Amino acid sequence: MAIHDGASVVPTLSAWTRSFPLEGRARLLLLMPAVGFLLLVFAYPLVLIAVRSVTDPAPGFGHYVQIATTDVYVRVLASTFGLALSVTLATFVLGYPVAYALARSRGFVQALLVMLVLVPFWTSLLVRTYAWMVILGRYGVVNKTLMALGLTDEPLKLLHTGFATHIGMVHILLPFMILPIWSVMSRIDRSLIMAARSLGASQFSTFLGIYFPLTLPGVFSGALFVFILALGFYITPALLGGPSDLTISMLIAQQVSELLAWGFASALAVTLLVVTLALILVAGRLLGLDKIWEGLK
Amino acid sequence: MTLEELPKALERRGAPVRLEQLSKVFADSVAVTDVSLEVGAGEFLTLLGPSGSGKTTTLLMIAGFLVPTRGEIFIGGVPVSRKPPHQRDIGVVFQSYALFPHLTVFDNVAFPLKMRKVPAARIAERVAYALDLIRLEGLGGRYPHQLSGGQQQRVALARALVFEPPLLLMDEPLGALDRKLREAMQLEIKRLQRTLALTVIYVTHDQEEALTMSDRIAVMNHGRIEQLASPEELYERPCTAFVADFLGESNSLNGTIVRSDASTLVVGTPGGLQIFARKYADAAAGRAVSISIRPEQIHMLGADEHSDNEVHGVIEEVVYLGEAIRYLIRAGPRELLCMKKQNRRGHSNPQAGQSVRLGWSADAVIVHPVEQ
């Protein structure tokens, strides 16, 4: 049984601190370094890219017309979004139960689970991608095992397929789904679950009607992280995917490094950015962006 | 709808509850030991005790969230300890209210009815009754975070009552409310319980709340029931020193019986006080006892006034309480007595450092044998 006297003190104290906010100028001064940094290394190059997309090699919107009217660019753009969407769904299906296990476990088991999620998260993306190349390669662990078991006579083509791209990306992005969901789950009041059960809800109805809806803010923010990161993935699809699994980022890299078409590459980048922002805006409208922010809190 | 019509709308009445030698052992501790009690249909019973006394564990076992290690729970004569919580049909009100934040007030109150597959039209009707009952009609469309603490508490109550459970469990339901609101809600809960003839098991650590609301109180300590009795009996005739101390204020002194007559006892304290008390069954000279005297039973004696017990002392501390004044009086090296005096206009109140003569009747002294 808790002592409740403290409860009435805390809000009062926080209300007190709220009533004495930092002076406007002091706040601005504290924000200056971060804002300056972002302007210099993020906003300024972004503007440069946008400008270059309509000036290099000649002024005009020619690049954008070309992107919109060329079948292959539209298709690559669509398949990139398709890939990001299916990776997001897969990370959700795999990550939700893990987040639940994290939220429900205690002590040593929880510490172990956290390590299992975070150690790959801290490992370089390149290292993990190469690891998958070794595992999925023609004479990699998977194929050798399958052949040793006699399940297949010759090695299967696993590497350089859409399947390999999916595996690699899901593996790398999983923590971005798990962590926000876990954070929301661990803040769910256990008494809500007990209340639902006492009011006549079976375990399944409690999950469906109470628990799952309460975890949605975490699911939304996790999905947003994964989706946006997946859209810009370059190394993993380039190393694990096949020649037909072209993503927009690979297309951009190709334009820059092989064709030196900086203007066209910039136009592709701006297109990706604009379409992504538009999608997020629409999704935010449909799902309620406030829920996403609540999940991030 | 008036209050008198409400019981007709909510037909089911409270069921009797029986706990039989209920025990709960956790991996590292024993939480509840051999708790047996009976709650009559329509009775308001409170489990009162300090934290860790096992009262909440007992409640959670009745609700079905903990499986008893031993013993059985009967609700309306039916053993329920093997049933999962959602099949027990018990209304539970939690300390944190536990309102579903993503559902409106209406949907919160409708939740238990939906789970019971009640038709939508009937749900609307019943939720309206329930909101009426707690005087929150018209707030069905709000979300819990848009309500005040008191309103949230009422919604939690409506939600726990709307499906007409034969038993209502409440775990410190008023703990988070301020004093004024808490007192108003106490009366409100009591009114509902009487009107609907509900069986209520109420958990609290607040003795004043327990005294105000309960038909009977089970005082718990270290996982056991110390005493189960009406509020009056508990206060007037506590059967252990713990109960005397936990319910209301009490002066507790240790001593030894020095003399035992036909009807009176004399207890000697280490500081040399001789205290007269009424004799209890197996009192014998030489036994170690602890005695309790309520502060309001002690009076300051005038020059020509006399009492069964008379003690000289010096006022050490004066605490102004508003309606009364509390004095701490040194009556011996280890005998610091607390007394309460009504604060009446026109009466002079003695100050710290003053010598006084205290008196109290032998009836006011409660003697408990000390286990050795």
Cβ A210–B172 below 8 Å, yes or no? Answer: no
Q: Is the pLDDT of residue A143 over 50?
A: yes
Q: How far is B138 from chain A (nearest CA, A)?
A: 23
* Nearest residue in A to B53, CA atom: A1
Q: Which residues of A touch B56 (CB under 8 A)?
A: 1
Q: How far is B30 from chain A (nearest CA, A)?
A: 16
- pLDDT, tens only, B72-131: 999 999 999 989 999 999 999 998 899 999 999 999 999 999 999 999 999 999 999 899
Of B92, B100, B178, which has the smallest distance from its Cβ to A198's Cβ?
B92
Q: Which residues of A touch B109 (CB under 8 A)?
A: none
Place of tokens 């501790």: B29
- The helix-helix angle for A162-186 and A289-296 (nearest 10°) equals 70
**What is the rounded CA–CA span in Å between residue A189 and residue B102?**
13
CA distance readout (Å), B295 to A231, B30, B239, B244, B292: 76, 35, 18, 12, 9
Please report the pLDDT score of residue A280 as a whole number.
83
- pLDDT, tens only, A199-239: 999 999 999 999 999 998 899 889 988 999 999 898 888 88
Residue bearing the bigger pLDDT, B107 or B249? B107
Which of B55, B115, B161, B204 to probe the A interface (max A CBs under 10 A)?
A: B115
Its pTM stands at 0.79
Mean pLDDT of B173-182: 86
B353: three-class secondary structure by DSSP: coil
Cβ B96–A202 below 8 Å, yes or no? Answer: no
Please report the pLDDT score of residue A291 as a whole number.
54
Cβ A198–B85 below 8 Å, yes or no? Answer: yes
Q: Is the pLDDT of residue B247 over 80?
A: yes
Task: Describe the strand order of the beta sheet including B70-75 as a list of residue ranges.
Answer: B30-39, B17-25, B70-75, B78-79
**Are A54 and A66 a contacting pair, CB within 8 Å?**
no
The DSSP annotation for A69-111 comes to H-HHHHHHHHHHHHHHHHHHHHHHHHHHHHHHHHHH--HHHHH
Please report the pLDDT score of residue A104 as a whole number.
92
Cβ A1–B115 below 8 Å, yes or no? Answer: no
* Nearest residue in A to B62, CA atom: A198
**What is the rounded CA–CA span in Å between residue B327 and residue A291?**
57
Contact B246/A at CB under 8 A: no
B278: three-class secondary structure by DSSP: strand
**What is the rounded CA–CA span in Å between residue A233 and residue A248?**
9
Q: Which residues of B touch A1 (CB under 8 A)?
A: 50-52, 56, 172, 205
Contact B88/A at CB under 8 A: yes
Domains and CATH numbers, chain A: 1-55 (no CATH), 61-296 (1.10.3720.10)
Instruction: Return the sign of the alpha-carbon dihedral for residues A121, A127, A129, A132.
Output: negative
> Nearest 10 degrees: CA dihedral of A28, A33, A38, A41?
150
**Are A292 and A221 a contacting pair, CB within 8 Å?**
yes
Tokens representing residue B166 in the block: 């034969």
Which residues of chain B from 94 to 113 reach within 8 Å of chain A, CB to CB? 94-96, 98-102, 111-112
The DSSP annotation for B205-248 comes to S-HHHHHHH-SEEEEEETTEEEEEE-HHHHHHS-SSHHHHHHSS
Tokens representing residue A276 in the block: 């992504």
**What is the rounded CA–CA span in Å between residue B149 and residue A11?**
14
State chain B's mean pLDDT as an integer.
88
Which residues, 6 or more positions from A95, have their beta carbon under 8 angstroms from its beta carbon? A174, A177, A178, A181, A222
Tokens representing residue B95 in the block: 């300390």
Please report the pLDDT score of residue A19 as a whole number.
55
Q: How far is A118 from chain B (nearest CA, A)?
A: 31
- pLDDT, tens only, A158-191: 888 889 999 999 999 999 999 999 999 999 999 9
Q: Which residues of B touch A288 (CB under 8 A)?
A: none
Which residues, 6 or more positions from A189, have their beta carbon under 8 angstroms from its beta carbon? B96, B98
State chain A's mean pLDDT as an integer.
86
Q: How far is A139 from chain B (nearest CA, A)?
A: 51
When pLDDT is cut at 50, 70 and 90, the band that residue B344 belongs to is: confident
Contact pairs from chain A to chain B, CB under 8 Å: 77
Contact B91/A at CB under 8 A: yes
Tokens representing residue B359 in the block: 């008196």
Of B64, B86, B96, which has the smallest distance from its Cβ to A202's Cβ?
B86
Which of A12, A106, A198 to probe the B interface (max B CBs under 10 A)?
A: A198
**Are A102 and A114 a contacting pair, CB within 8 Å?**
yes
Which residues, 6 or more positions from A116, have their beta carbon under 8 angstroms from its beta carbon? none
HSE at residue B324, side-chain half, CA atoms within 13 A, is 10
Q: Is the pLDDT of residue A4 over 60?
A: no
CA distance readout (Å), B10 to A200, A201, B160, B164, B187: 18, 21, 13, 6, 20
